[in-house]
Structure 1
Amino acid sequence: MIKLLIIFIKKLKVFLSKKLSHYNVTLPYAITLVLALLIGVFGINIFVELTEVLSTETLSNYDTKITSAVLSHRSTSLTKYFTFITHVGDVYGYLVVLILSAIISLVVFKRWKYMVQITLVLFLSALSNVVLKRVINRARPDLEHLVAVETLSYPSGHAMSAMAFYGFLIYLFYRFKMNRYIKIGTILVLAFLILSIGVSRIYLGVHYPSDILGGFIAGAIWVVFCIVLFNLIEVFRSDPKIPNNI
């Protein structure tokens, strides 16, 4: 990602310096940030499109069929598993992972920036989820709830936070220089965890499948935007032509 950004910004610098009589060294970065925002807007548009069909009969049929298929597999062992998994995707679960991330960032990588980035992604996801729930105002499924819930249904906060938080962790592990098999294994475990958290909310009767899909889309938007933003900041700070006082 950083290499692609550097190449893009270099080409943008050359283009702007030729086209503009008064060229500002920070302009390519501003344009790149705007483009990142446009990517975010495109993702939000997909999210809105899904939101607009929440009340349609077609989506309702899909929700019913998928929910019935998931609930048909209810058992004592699966209930224990999905109850545990859904707690992993809750506040206390993230606190444990954040503490572990802080230890790894400080001890292994000796840098706090990864911890700050992970925390920011989770915060943005959680904050926007609260706003989206209030705006869309969709009630929970009229099913037996195997866990207690208090907020509204769409988009799923668990699915959104899982995609944003663990999705960003996947990106970080992809960038880390480490044993190939450990890296691949960790990424697969995190991907399975994201999927499990989403399925757990359907299994426990507290979300429609469309809630999960909406949460995954919204969470993915934050992952992509934050990856571009953090890399852009890194490239910006390393640019020798940028004055230190900016």
Structure 2
Amino acid sequence: MHFWTLLLGLIGVLLGARWAVVALWRRRHCMWVRLCAGVASLRLDVPAGAIETRWPRIGGWLRARFDTRHFSGLPLTALALLSLHLLGLGGELIDELREDSELQRLDERIHGSLGWLREARFVALFAWLTVFGDPQSLTVAGLVAGAFLLALRRQGLLVGLLLSVAGSQIATLLGKYVIDRPRPEVVTFVEAATPSFPSGHTTGAMAVYGFVAYALARTAANPRLRLEVVLMAAMLVVLVAMSRLIIGVHYLSDIAAGLVNGAFWVVAGIAVAEWWQGYRTVEAR
């Protein structure tokens, strides 16, 4: 397919996705917003109070888990549930990869079917975009973000960033050399030496850019600015993930595992950052 057709199609998809997200964000009356408002208005402490009448300790613990006034209440509960869900997704991917060759066959079919995207100049473009997921680029981004957080005395966010980066990289190395999945057959000029599962570029991009986006959104006062920051980070992560598929060095399940791995450590970093901030606030009092 012609390079300019592919490029315009990519730009159109990105702009369309951004428009859809912004339109949904603006529609305060949409079903999603009403659902969130309904959940927020629930008296989640009522069942905890009923349980507390018969089992005081259990009821008190449940009441604390639903408390919206402190991070250790409902926010931490939601993050813990999200972390468990991400762990479950990662575990399912590993089980499917080890126990059943169906996932491998599906990956190979998808890998082969992307040939129409591998026009020479389009591959060169994505070979450039994949650099944003290289260890060198992620190290520079992490150091710059860390320096700003240190200068602004945001120690909690700095600790969260370090956990997100270090945890995701350790998990990636363990996954690569324990599972030891071979790379796809080379179909472009790009080659890679390490095992395939999970995608280190995708994991790193999610962990670093995801947490940096959270840190920026956390300190931004304007809700629209927070949305734009998150959207830009999400698009960058998606482009890095796409680049690994288009240049042919990863299977789709490698990319999915990288996104799950990176997201898990972003959530862990957020939890530690918020706990650290709350702990320091209480200590200051």
Residue in 1 that maps onto 2:123: 79
Compute the RMSD of aligned alpha carbons: 3.8
Residue in 1 that maps onto 2:165: 122
Residue in 2 that maps onto 1:176: 219
For 1:33 and 1:188, the matched residues in 2 are separated by 24
For 1:104 and 1:228, the matched residues in 2 are separated by 20
| Match among 220, 226, 239 for residue 196 of structure 1 | 239
For 1:138 and 1:117, the matched residues in 2 are separated by 30
Shift in Å at residue 33 of structure 1?
A: 7.8
For 1:238 and 1:103, the matched residues in 2 are separated by 22
For 1:115 and 1:235, the matched residues in 2 are separated by 14
SS in structure 1 at match of 2:117: coil
Shift in Å at residue 216 of structure 1?
A: 0.8
Residue in 1 that maps onto 2:190: 147
Residue in 2 that maps onto 1:43: 86
For 2:89 and 2:251, the matched residues in 1 are separated by 18
Q: Which amino acid aligns with 2:258?
A: G
Matched, 1:63 2:107: yes
For 2:80 and 2:174, the matched residues in 1 are separated by 19
Question: Relative to 1, partners in 2 of residues 1:57 and 1:102: Cα closer, same or farther, differing over 3 Å?
Answer: closer
Question: Relative to 1, partners in 2 of residues 1:96 and 1:72: Cα closer, same or farther, differing over 3 Å?
Answer: same
Shift in Å at residue 212 of structure 1?
A: 0.4
Shift in Å at residue 74 of structure 1?
A: 1.5
For 1:143 and 1:136, the matched residues in 2 are separated by 20
Greater shift, 221-230 or 193-202, is seen at 221-230
* Unaligned segments of structure 1, at least 5 residues: none
SS in structure 2 at match of 1:172: helix
Give the fraction of aligned pairs with identical amino acids, expressed as a percent: 28
Shift in Å at residue 195 of structure 1?
A: 0.8
Higher relative contact order (CA 8 A, sep 6+): 1
Question: Relative to 1, partners in 2 of residues 1:130 and 1:57: Cα closer, same or farther, differing over 3 Å?
Answer: closer
Shift in Å at residue 38 of structure 1?
A: 6.9
Q: Contact 2:163–2:268 (CA<8 Å) still a contact in 1?
A: no
Question: Relative to 1, partners in 2 of residues 1:97 and 1:208: Cα closer, same or farther, differing over 3 Å?
Answer: same
For 1:133 and 1:113, the matched residues in 2 are separated by 30
Q: Which amino acid aligns with 1:70?
A: L
Residue in 2 that maps onto 1:101: 145
Kindly tell me the number of residue pairs found equivalent between the two proteins: 231
Matched, 1:206 2:249: yes
Residue in 1 that maps onto 2:133: 89
Q: Which amino acid aligns with 1:216?
A: L
Q: Which amino acid aligns with 1:215?
A: G
Q: Contact 2:172–2:200 (CA<8 Å) still a contact in 1?
A: yes
TM-score scaled by structure 1?
Answer: 0.75
* Unaligned segments of structure 2, at least 5 residues: 1-39, 66-71
| Match among 212, 215, 229 for residue 186 of structure 1 | 229
Greater shift, 57-66 or 93-102, is seen at 57-66
Q: Contact 2:245–2:251 (CA<8 Å) still a contact in 1?
A: yes
